[in-house]
């Protein structure tokens, strides 16, 4: 589950409720990882309280540095979780702290066994193999408007940006796609999320939209020859804007309407 940030914590809480449901409901074992946050203890506590208010047991799993990420007892907490939730902050901290450690191995093992792995804001960006770590939101697409780094790789076909419409991040997602046209660029608005099931189908949940940029048909990209501060030319990008309930098949690269009522 990839969340665009600023999800509702006090109203209907649709996104948090859906994460709890997917994690097992009242029987869920939720681990909150606030490695990305400036104040990890406060960030983790806010989500632990939010999940508790929805009737789901949750605990903060502290991974503040690589020593803690190498602790097998901490890794076991992730391995046993049915839902793992990464908070916002700085996405580079997630990969820098977890990469190559027992905690990363436990995360992948839990995910492979069926645990739901979710991230909001910075935690959302970290889900892809090619991760956006920063850039400008107020310029035409240029190589300099986006900075990228390897991510966790749980969604290897995607490059993800968050707070998308609210912070005007279309240009930097286009710049990322110009340099990686084989990927799908996915921008997630605030209080909006998408869930990817085992068949590779993306489903939108929330109050705003998910924007999908498909670069597979790109005919021209000047990303390889343009200077860092030079505007890019990019032709042949297909853009989809999907609201609540709409789906997108990542492998076939096709959008679909919401599933019939009662169907998952």
Model confidence at 263, pLDDT cuts 50, 70, 90, reads low
Written as six digits, the tokens of 212 are 């999908």
Query: Under CATH, to which class is 127-256 assigned?
Result: alpha beta
Q: How far apart are CA 123 and CA 125, in angstroms?
A: 6
Please state at what angle helix 72-79 crosses helix 102-112, rounded to 10 degrees.
10
The model carries a pTM of 0.95
Catalytic annotation present for 240? no
Integer angstrom CA distances of residue 261 from 6, 20, 87, 257: 28, 20, 31, 12
Q: Which two tokens stand for residue 180?
A: 């990686």
Write down the residue that tokens 């190559």 correspond to. 100
260: pLDDT confidence band, cut at 50, 70 and 90? confident
Please identify which of the residues 18, 23, 125, 163 carries the catalytic annotation. 163
Look at residue 125 in the predicted model and tell me its pLDDT.
Answer: 97
Q: Is 121 a catalytic residue?
A: yes
Which is the catalytic residue, given 23, 121, 125, 128? Answer: 121
Residue extent(s) of CATH 3.40.50.880 domains in the chain:
1-121, 127-256
Percent of the chain with pLDDT over 90: 87
**CATH fold of 1-121:** Rossmann fold (3.40.50)
For residue 79 the two structure tokens come to 């391995």
Any alpha helices (H) in 100-219, and if so which ranges?
102-112, 122-125, 170-179
């Amino acid at each position: 589950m990839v969340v665009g940030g600023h999800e509702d914590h006090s109203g209907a809480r649709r996104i948090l409720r859906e994460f709890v449901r997917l994690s097992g409901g009242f029987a869920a074992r939720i681990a909150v990882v606030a490695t990305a946050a400036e104040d990890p203890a406060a960030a983790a506590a806010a989500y632990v309280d939010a999940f508790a208010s929805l009737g789901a047991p949750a605990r903060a799993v502290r991974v503040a540095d690589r020593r803690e990420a190498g602790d097998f007892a901490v890794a076991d907490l992730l391995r046993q979780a049915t839902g793992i939730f990464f908070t916002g902050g700085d996405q580079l901290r997630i990969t820098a702290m977890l990469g190559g450690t027992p905690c990363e191995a436990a995360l992948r093992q839990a995910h492979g066994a069926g645990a739901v792995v979710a991230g909001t804001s910075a935690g959302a960006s970290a889900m892809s193999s090619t991760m956006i770590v920063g850039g400008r939101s107020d310029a035409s697409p240029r190589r300099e408007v986006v900075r990228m780094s390897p991510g966790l790789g749980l969604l290897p076909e995607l490059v993800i940006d968050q707070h998308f419409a609210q912070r005007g991040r279309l240009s930097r997602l286009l710049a990322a796609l110009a340099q990686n046209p084989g990927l799908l660029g996915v921008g997630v608005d605030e209080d909006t999320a998408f869930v990817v099931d085992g068949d590779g189908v993306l489903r939108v949940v929330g109050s705003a939209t998910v924007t999908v940029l498909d670069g597979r048909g790109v005919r021209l990209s000047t990303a390889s020859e343009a200077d860092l501060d030079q505007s890019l030319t990019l032709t042949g990008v297909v853009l989809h804007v999907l609201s609540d309930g709409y789906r997108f098949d990542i492998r076939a690269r096709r959008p679909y309407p919401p599933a019939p009522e009662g169907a998952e």
